[in-house]
Structures are given as structure tokens and as C-alpha cells.
Amino acid sequence: MNKYKIITSSFRILRRNKLNTFFMILGIVIGIAALSITFSMGKGAEKQLTEKVKNLFSPNNILITSGRVELESGRSSESSVTNLKIEDIEAIMNEVHGITMYAPIQVTPDRDVIFGNKNISTAINGGTAEGELVWRRSVIAGEYFTKADEKSLARVALIGTKIAKKLFENSNPIGEQIRIGAVPFTVKGVLEEKGIDPHGTDLDMNVIVPITTLMSRLMNVNYIIGAKLEVEDASQTEDIAIKVTSVLRERHSLNNNETNDFSIVTPVVVKEIIGKMNRVFTLFLPLISGIALVVGGVVIVVIMLMSVSRRVSEIGLRKALGARPKDIMFQFLVEASVVSLLGGILGLAIGLTGTWIFLFSRGLTFFIPWQTILFGVLFPVIIGIVAGIIPARKAAQMDPIEALS
């Protein structure tokens, strides 16, 4: 039997049975839409997260945190958070060769930042003059801190672009006086835009003051929660991390059987964490949404089997007129594949549109991985063929005499 006639006949039958066709397409649409949304958003999140981590943490960096901290969550899981001092970091700089500079880390809980009658609540970060290089973040207006600012406990502040917009609108904030709680500060600079960090913190809502000022005037503490070290030779990072560990254990008087009361994060650790996140984004999320696609395939099987039962006479007549079993089987496979492909294209369009709307509403970058397009077209055809095999075989094996009786 002519393949072209079989294909045109398949399309005609699908148009004639609109309700069945609609439900078969709907099952695939839901599955592919879910798959494309989760995969596109997952890969997009993976790409942006990887870029942000690389921007914050280069192969030349070592991160020291007080207590034991999980980098994925940024939370301290055990031990005190008052055991790390700036003196510890200075001792590391003196005793461990190969470290060029460092930036200590300290941050307050949310504080009121006030200008005139406008008020914003945000965390206040401590910074240093070297932080501009260590954190790779400068200012787009005004000036960065100086060593003199640190030594004099100057009441100056760097503010993020969103803080500047909310407090000062379109006016120039440089030189203006804000209050952090009850303490007045002069705005010295506006920070470069950085967006959301891997922990979900909006860096454009940052307010940074000299860390000495933060510790003495805003917090009244003598400890820090961490420090970021800049290593001269990236190939020596792991060896330097071992030496840093040794210095800190000695300064904290830890015995051989005692665990560290601090955490050291190196590029190797960051790479492992990113690998774990990638597996979640590229395997588990699509796997969950793939269940909906399997359900769509089951719907096709059930409806196609019902279609075979209703078309017994038609199948018997075709066989009586010379249609071979493989022609009958081919027709049902074409019907299932066409339905699946149409559902895949519609589901892909719906899924990508939904992804774009969601990301656009949150100000995130829209990213379409090539795998989404490939899977959106390939998977439905495979599902259609697999789902159509059982009904097609049943139709092909019918006895024409029994079918017409």
C-alpha cells in the first residue's frame, strides 16, 4: 500500500476523531511543557549560579569561615562564631607565603538605613580598602575606602545601586549623610551592580562601611565571621590551604583529636559543590517532570487501544482490500507519532513562554539550552512510537474475516 496514502489517511482519521486527538495531544503537551520549564529553568539557574560563584570565588581564592559552615546554605552548622579574629588572618599573612592580600568578613543583622523620611532595612557589611580587589567589585560613582578610613574608624559608606535608587531616587548620593540606626555616615561611593549571589542575597542592596567602624561603632565586637584570601599562584592554593589550617589550629590551641573550629573552602571544594548542584539541575528536576511525559504516553496507549476497538470494521475492510499487516501497523504508528509531535511542539512553546514570563517577572536572564529544543522534539516522537506499538500490533494481527463479521 502506498505510504503517502497511508499518511494522508492517518491525518484524515485524526481530524475526524477530534476529541481523541485532543486528549492524546494534551497528555504530551503537559509532559513536554513541564519538562521544558524545569530543564530550561534548571539549566539557566545552573549557568547563572556557576557564573556568580566564579565571579565571587576564583581559582586564586581561599575562604575561611568561623565555625563549620555549609557553603551551599551559607549557614553555620556548629561551633562558636566568635573564635576568628583579624589577628588570626594577619598571622596567616605573616607566616604563610604566597598570599597577596585578604578581606575580612563581618556583617550585621538587618539595620535601618535612613535618609530624610525614607527608611530601608538591610544588612550592613564590613569592608576594607583591599576588598575592592579581593571581591572584584569597585564603585561606579564616588570613591572606595582607603586605609586611612579603616585606621580612623571613619563613618563613611558604600551603597548598592538599589539602595541609592530607593533613598535618593535620581539625585546624586555622593557626600550625602545617611543614618544607620542612630549613627550618621557619609556616602562615599555607589557600588557596581552585582545582582543575586549564590545564597540568594541581593548584592545591590549592600551597604558597606569600614570593617573597623562596623565592629567598634555598630556591633561592639572583636571577632569576624570569615575572610577571603587572594593567592598569588593558583596552582599552590591547596598547599597554602593546608598551611593556613595548621596556623589556625595552632592559634586556636586545638589538639590532634579536636576538629577544626573553622572551615576552609578552596576551589576544589567549590567545584565539588557546583557538580552536586549541576546533577540536581540536569538530572533530578527533568526526571520528576518526565513522569508527566510517561503519563502522556500511557494516555496515548489507552486511547489508541480504544480507537482500535472502534475501528475493527475499517481495519477488516482494509485488509480485505489488500492492506498488509505492516501497512496497518505503520498507519497506527504514524497516528501516534503525529499526535505526539504536535503535542511536543505545543508543549515546548507553552513551556518556553512560561519560563520567559517567570524569569522576566523576576528580572532574570532568559536562557534556552539546546537540550530543551532537542528533547522537546525527539522525546515526543519516541513516546509516540513506543506508545503506538501495542495498539498497532493489535490492529495488524486482526483477522479480516472476524473483523468484518
109-160, pLDDT tens digit by residue? 999 999 999 999 999 999 999 999 999 899 999 999 999 999 999 999 999 9
Q: In what order do the strands lie in the sheet with 61-66?
A: 99-105, 226-231, 61-66, 262-265
DSSP state of 317: H
Looking at per-residue confidence, does 208 or 367 come out higher? 208
Task: Say if residues 236 and 98 touch (Cβ distance below 8 Å).
Answer: yes
Task: Give the DSSP per-residue string, 188-206.
Answer: EEEEPP--B-TTS-BGGG-
Residue with cell 543575586: 196
- What is the per-residue pLDDT for 284? 67
Looking at the chain, the whole-number percentage of residues with pLDDT higher than 90 is 39
pLDDT at 370 over 90: no
Q: Which of 37, 70, 91 is nearest to 351 (CA)?
A: 37
Element (H, E) at 74: none
The model's pTM is: 0.61
Q: Is 183 exposed, middle or buried (0-12, 13-18, 19+ CB in 10 A)?
A: middle
pLDDT at 102 over 60: yes
* CA-to-CA dists, residue 138 to 58, 122, 143, 173, 177, angstroms: 17, 20, 9, 16, 21
Q: Which of 340, 399, 404 is nearest to 375 (CA)?
A: 340
Mean pLDDT of the region 289-296: 70
- What is the per-residue pLDDT for 79? 44
- What is the per-residue pLDDT for 76? 44
Bridge partners for 107 per DSSP: 125
Determine the Cα–Cα distance for residues 159 and 208; give it in Å rounded to an integer.
6
Determine the Cα–Cα distance for residues 168 and 159; give it in Å rounded to an integer.
11
Mean pLDDT of the region 209-231: 95
Mean pLDDT of the region 377-397: 73
* CA-to-CA dists, residue 105 to 112, 185, 195, 359, angstroms: 20, 20, 19, 31
Q: What is the mean pLDDT of the chain?
A: 81
* CA-to-CA dists, residue 46 to 289, 370, 373, angstroms: 17, 14, 18
Give the number of other Cβ atoms within 10 Å of residue 19's Cβ. 8
pLDDT at 162 over 70: yes
